[in-house]
Amino acid sequence: MTEETATTPETGAVATGGGKAAVADVEEAMKDVVDPELGINVVDLGLVYGVHVDDENVATLDMTLTSAACPLTDVIEDQARQALTTGPGGGLVNDIRINWVWLPPWGPDKITDEGRDQLRSLGFNV
């Protein structure tokens, strides 16, 4: 089974045949969402565990936080909604849902190599 893809001229984003965003494009757009405490995007921090885009072009994000007691959950949710649903042409997806998950627990081993480089440049020892 193959999917047709098209690049939207408004955003340059690749969507599948029915206007459904590609998971890779959603993940890339989530790099605009920055953890307010660390200043590194949530993808490179390893906080995004999974992405699913349904037939209505609604993205469900399985995400975690560095701490279950993080007081900035609303900030991250607002940034994610902004990154994915706004912009030229109305955004990459029609809406988002965040499924906050705590298992497996987040740890420094989830940080990407790019995230580690960014943290080192800020003076963190990772």
pLDDT in tens, 54-91: 999 999 999 999 888 888 899 999 999 999 999 777 79
Cis, bond preceding 104 (omega within 30 deg of 0) = yes
SS3 state at 48 = strand
DSSP annotation of 22 reads: P
Residue-wise pLDDT tens digits, 16-62: 344 899 999 999 999 999 999 889 999 999 999 999 999 999 999 99
Those residues whose C-beta lies under 8 Å from the C-beta of residue 70, and which sit 6 or more positions away, are: 37
User: Per this entry, what is the length of the chain?
Assistant: 126
Structure token pair of residue 58: 């609604």
pTM of structure:
0.81
> CA-to-CA distance for 62 and 52, rounded, in angstroms?
8
> CA-to-CA distance for 12 and 92, rounded, in angstroms?
10
